[in-house]
Amino acid sequence: MNRRRYGTDGEYTAHDYLMGQGYAILEMSYRRPTGEIDVIAQKDGTVVFVEVKRRGSGRFGAPAEAVNRPKQARILRTALLYLQQHGLEDAPVRFDVIEVTPGQVHHIEGAFDATGFF
């Protein structure tokens, strides 16, 4: 399986997990010149931007460790465009990471925020 397909499968695993937790899925693979957001969901009025990281093993560390500061900055800029495009500038937001590993989905709510970026 190629890397893109592997990642996409992880995104759909996260999609199914979020649906099971009562989230409404607003967008999948939202792409703009500033970057990509894997899943945009909403629950209890909060817009949740989700970065999905899938790994076959812990050989290279925890999947969430790959969501470094430059990656966070790209997600934040892209989220801002999404919020503006959909008239949601005043909506509460959260940035989560979902780690998908064999047999496990680990949801890290509020994995990062915009503090210190703008």
Distance in angstroms (rounded) separating the CA atoms of residues 95 and 103: 23
Which class for 116: exposed (0-12), middle (13-18), buried (19 or more C-beta within 10 A)?
A: exposed
How many angstroms from the chain centroid is the CA of residue 34? 15
Tokens of 25: 């899925």
Mean pLDDT of the chain: 90
List pLDDT tens digits, range 30-85.
999 999 999 999 999 999 999 999 987 666 678 888 899 999 999 999 999 999 99
Distances (CA, A) of 69 to 31, 82, 114: 19, 20, 11
Which of 9-13, 76-80, 86-90 shows the lowest per-residue confidence on average (mean pLDDT)?
9-13
- CATH class of the region 3-112: alpha beta
Full-model pTM: 0.90
Determine the Cα–Cα distance for residues 23 and 10; give it in Å rounded to an integer.
17
Q: Where do the structural domains in the chain lie, given as residue ranges?
A: 3-112
**Nearest alpha-carbon partner for 106 in 36, 44, 50, 27:** 50
Per-residue pLDDT band at 116 (split at 50, 70, 90): confident
